[in-house]
Amino acid sequence: MSQSQIAIEQRTCRPLTTLSEDEQMFRASVREFADGELRPRVDEMEEHAKLDPTLIKQCFDLGLMGIETPEEYGGAGATFFTAILAVEELSRVDASVGVLVDVQNTLVNNALVRWGTEEQKQKYLPQLATQKVGAYALSEAGSGSDAFAMQTRAVEDGDHFVINGRKLWITNGNEADIFIVFANANPEAGYRGITAFVVEKSTAGFSVGKKENKLGIRASSTVELILEDCRVSKEDVIGEIGKGYKVSIETLNEGRIGIGAQMIGIASGALDAALSYTTEREQFGKSINQFQGVQFQLAEMATELEAARLLVYNAARMKDAGQNFVKEAAMAKLFSSRAAERISSKAIELFGGYGFVKDYPVEKFWRDSKIGAIYEGTSNMQLQTIAKLMIGK
């Protein structure tokens, strides 16, 4: 029996939300870190719209920045599902740190592990696993859902490419030292000219521009990148010249499961807060969770969260088992982002007036949830993907 068959059989023999002993231990360790080290810093990071550098270092020290990276390159050599658990647990406390770890693992590291040359892996993966943050630069002002309409150009010049253009909405941009940058090296070929490059922050002609002032995930930096005659060696092409479209599509398919994990983390944090508050809050002489109307709302929130978690876990298990998971990843992201927004919104209502002020946590969960319907593929794009795969076109 192949490893994929074994994984599939194991997955079908127990509920998707039932974790192995190793997975339980890992989840517990991340939760302990999130509650003990992350939670006390959330308000300050939110206020200053900046991640605490000490916290980032701790993420490296705990091995959270190279979860799937093979051990020979300094990583933990764990499964994709393990990375999903980390993103979920961190996002239960703060989605900004959740997306820091998510982008590092599911996009940047993943692109290098799958598409990088051996030299690139040896050069970059150990740094990304132990000390340097990565970022993934695909979007531009005029190419969001239509990602392949990008205007950033890469012109061949001897042993180098000269890249000119601007990237927008780049997560981790302020913290990152290593960037996966997409540019078109042959515009006449359309999307088949798109090529992926590794670009270091210190490269001449590369700079970080404006940092966006956002509704949610405020501590996570979202920035513009500026490339002006940025010279990148041909040795830093990821995959083949003109194959960047394939790198981006296949990487983002996995990234969507990571965003799904972020969303169920947000929803879980909001539900936990609502359960705690409705136990403590008294009206008419008893806790408000003793009223049937409140109980029904909590039950609906819990049911929706569990459904979202099953979708996310299923997609992650399928990926690890070597199955085609594209449709399931789109479903997981679509449903979990909607669930996170609804659950966090209902939590605000259960808090009453307190839910509307920043002294209590639930308004932040709602603000953080909104991005789930937008980045790494909008909800409409997920619907399009699901429909096409259903009807076979």
Catalytic site positions? 376
Using an 8 Å Cβ cutoff, are 167 and 139 in contact? yes
Task: Determine the Cα–Cα distance for residues 103 and 132; give it in Å rounded to an integer.
Answer: 13
Task: Determine the Cα–Cα distance for residues 193 and 4; give it in Å rounded to an integer.
Answer: 34
CA neighbor of 94 nearest in space, from 216, 271, 275: 216
* CB count in 10 Å sphere of residue 127: 17
Task: Determine the Cα–Cα distance for residues 24 and 255; give it in Å rounded to an integer.
Answer: 23
Question: Strand 176-184 to strand 133-137: parallel, antiparallel, or no bridges (unpaired)?
Answer: parallel
Task: Determine the Cα–Cα distance for residues 184 and 186; give it in Å rounded to an integer.
Answer: 6
Question: Strand 237-238 to strand 133-137: parallel, antiparallel, or no bridges (unpaired)?
Answer: unpaired
Task: Determine the Cα–Cα distance for residues 115 and 121; give it in Å rounded to an integer.
Answer: 9
List of residues 6+ apart from 300 with CB closer than 8 A: 346
What is the distance, to the nearest Å, from the Cα of residue 364 to the centroid of all Cα atoms in its chain? 18
Tokens found for residue 233: 């060696």
SS3 196: strand
SS3 14: coil
What is the distance, to the nearest Å, from the Cα of residue 227 to the centroid of all Cα atoms in its chain? 25
Task: Determine the Cα–Cα distance for residues 68 and 64; give it in Å rounded to an integer.
Answer: 9
Give one DSSP letter per residue of 162-225, joined into a string. Answer: EEEEEEEEEETTTTEEEEEEEEES-GGGGGGGEEEEEEETTSTTEEEEEEP--SS-TTS-EEEE
Task: Determine the Cα–Cα distance for residues 186 and 203; give it in Å rounded to an integer.
Answer: 22
Residue with tokens 């996170």, as numbered in its chain: 340
CA neighbor of 183 nearest in space, from 142, 227, 121: 227
